Amino acid sequence: MVVKNARGHAFFEYGEPILKLPNYVWSAPIEFLGPEERETFERVPGGALWPEVDSRMLTRVLTGQDLMDGWVVVQDGVYRYVVAQEDLIVVRSVINEYLATEVRWSD
């Protein structure tokens, strides 16, 4: 389910259909992360790169629509995610402010 959601977010936000297997899949209860791990996880990956022109993510970045600290908030306290172009693409999500996930594809 984590990989399926990550593929959907990558396609929805960046128009990137990613059919190959991810290089990295990780999940853990967010409460088990130490302070530094949590800070690293919460930081939006990719640095100062701007999304591609005409992507949904560029519209979000420019308008701030549904964004909180760079994360897309689907339902506050229930589900949020971030998609960034780091390596090829990385998708992080938090489910019920409990489960932290990351899926990463590299070139």
Instruction: Kindly report the backbone phi and psi dihedral angles of residue 83, in degrees, each rounded to the nearest multiple of 5, phi listed first.
Output: -125, 130
| Number of domains forming the structure of the chain | 1
- Output the tens digit of pLDDT for each of the chain's 107 residues: 899 999 999 888 877 789 999 999 999 999 999 999 999 999 987 654 555 555 566 666 656 666 778 788 989 999 999 988 887 899 999 999 999 999 999 98
Task: State if pTM tops 0.75.
Answer: yes
Inter-CA distances, 79 with 19, 36, 52, 66, 75, Å: 24, 22, 24, 12, 5
Residue-range definition of the domain harbouring residue 45: 2-105
pLDDT for residue 48? 47
pLDDT at position 40: 93
